[in-house]
Structure 1
C-alpha cells in the first residue's frame, strides 16, 4: 500500500479539497480505499470544467446518481455552473439544491443560462435554510419567494440578472434576512420590478445596478449601518431615488443618470472616499466633513461641479480626475469659472492630484494650472495622457512653468 493511502480519511479528504471536484471524484477508481472518500467532501464545485455537451450530459447523470449518496454531514460550499443547460432540467437542478440544503448547506452558488426561459430551479426549502451564510445566483433563474421565508444566518447575497416573480419577491426576501451584511443586486436587462426597495438595518455593503432598459418606478434605500455603497443607475426613464441617511458610510461609488441627485448626495455626506459620475448638479448646502479621497469622472462633469465639491470638502487630501470607459468625453464640460475664493481644502489639506486622460484642451489646462497655483500643501501632481492627444513636451512646458503654491510639489507625467 502506498504511503498516501495509509493516511487517515480526515487527512485524505483535506488533500482532495486542494484539487477540482472533478479530479477528486476521479480518485474513486484508484482502489477501494479511495472509492468513497470524495463523498465526504464538504466543498463541491460542478460545471465549470464540463465544456462539451457530452461532458455536461455525464455531469447530469453523475449528479443524479451520486449526489443523493453524499455522506458529508455539512456541505460548506455547493457550486453549480450550468452555462449550457439543455441537458439539465429545472426539476433535476431543484432536486440537487434540495439535497445540498439537507446537508446543513452554508454556501450556494448557481450560474444558469437557459436563453429561452427563466424557470424556477430554487426549491422552497432553500428559503428556510437555517445554516445558509452565502447565496449567489446568476442568470436565467426565477426568484419566487414563498410566504414562509426566513434565512437567519445569511450574511452575503449576490443576485445577478435573475427575474423576480413579482414586485414583492425581492423585498420579502430581504426583509427576512436579519443578519444580512453584503448585498449585490444586478437587475436584468428588459425586466421590470416596479419599486426597488432595500430596507435592511444590518446591511454594511450594498451594490445596485439598474440597466438602461430596465423598467423601474423608483428606488428606496434604508440602510443605516452601511459602510460601502455602490449605485450604477443608467436608467433614463424618469424615476425617483429616495435614500435615507448613512451615518457610518466610508466608501461610495455613484454613477447615475438621474436628473435629481439631492436625496442621494444628502445621504452620503459622511463618506470618506467618494467616486462620482453624474450629469446632474446638487444644491449647495451639503458638507462632506469627512471626505478625504474624491474621484470624479470628467466625462460627465463641469468645472463648476468640481469647485463646488472642493468647497464642500474641507478635509480633502486626494483628488482624482478620470474618464470611465463607457462615457463620452465632452471638452465643453471642462471650462473653469474662477471662483471668488479658494476652497479651504486647497489651502489646508490637498496633497495629491491625479488626472488620467488629460488632453490638454484650454479648459483642462486652466484647471490644472489653477490647482497648482492654489494648493498650498500639494505634494504630487500626476498627469497621464496619450501622446497622440497632446505632445508630451508641450504639456510638460505648459505645466512645469506654471507658478505653484507648494514649493515641494512634484510634477509627474505618465
Structure 2
C-alpha cells in the first residue's frame, strides 16, 4: 500500500454557459486530474478545480506544486500514513485545492485496496443526498427558467442563488421572481461571495424577509470584522461561513467571534481528511452544515456526495452537487445522473469512479 507515483494531469472542458458570481466567472473547467499510484498496482483518482479569485491557485500552480513539492514528499508513504502525509504537505502554506485532491486520491486508492467504498470508510450513514443547484448571475426570467428546468428534468427543489451585485435591487428582484414562480415548496438561499457591504447586505435581507430564505452565505467581506458581526446580529436566518472558514481553526474563529452561525464544507478545498475534522467540530458546536460546490466536474461531485452521504449532519441538507450539468462533457466513463432530486454514490471500491481514457486523451492539456 505504498505510494509510488503522483500524477497531475491538466485538462480543460468548456461550460455550456458561463457561471457568473460576485467574485468572478467561469467559462471553462480548467481543472487537474490527480492520480495516486501504489506498489500494488492500485490507482486512486480525484479532481482539483482551481479558483484563483478565491484561493489564489491556478491550473498551472496546482500541477507545479504537486509535481515539484508534494509528490517527492509523499512517495514511499503508506496509504494509511495520512497524518504523516498531511504533516509533510503542511510544510507548504496555502495550496488548499492541490492538497485536497491529493488527499482524496489517497482515500480512493485506500478504498480500492481494501475493496471498500470511501463513504463506508468515512462513516457510511447513507448512500445518497438531496441535490441543491447553484444559479449564477443572469436576468430574472433566465434564472427562473433554469430553476424550472432543473426541477422538471432532475427533480431538484433546492436552489442557491448567487447575489452580491450592485445595485442590490438586481438580486432581490431575482430572488423574489424565483419565489413567486417556483412556489413555497422550493428551498432558496443566497450567496453573496463577499460582494456587498454589511449595510447593503442588511438592507437586502430586510427586502427579502418575506421570501422564506433558508440561509445567507458570505454576503460581505470576511475581513470586515465588526461589520460582519453586526450583520449576523441583524439576520434572522443561519449565516454560512464559506471562503472565510476553510479550516477547523477558521470555523472556530468565525463562530466564536460571532461572524457566522453555520458553515459550508467543500471537499475540493479540504479533502476528506480535513473535511472530516471540520464536520466533527461543527457537530460538536451544534452548527448547521451545507455541502458546498467548487463548480466541480463529475469526479469532483462524486467526491462530494461520497463525503456528504457518510455523515448524518452533512446529508441532512441538500448538497450543492449539480453544477457538472453545466459542463459540455466530462471524464467519467459512466456519467452521473440526478434523479428525483437525489445523487447516489457509486457502488464499488473507493469512489467507484472509472475514467474514459479517450475523453481524458482528448481534453488533457499536457500532450
TM-score tier (shorter): under 0.3
Identify the structure with the greater strand proportion.
Answer: 1
Query: TM (normalized to structure 1)?
Result: 0.24
Instruction: Tell which has more relative contact order, 1 or 2 (C-alpha 8 A, sep 6+).
Output: 2
Identify the structure with the greater helix proportion.
Answer: 2
Query: TM (normalized to structure 2)?
Result: 0.26
Max Rg structure: 1
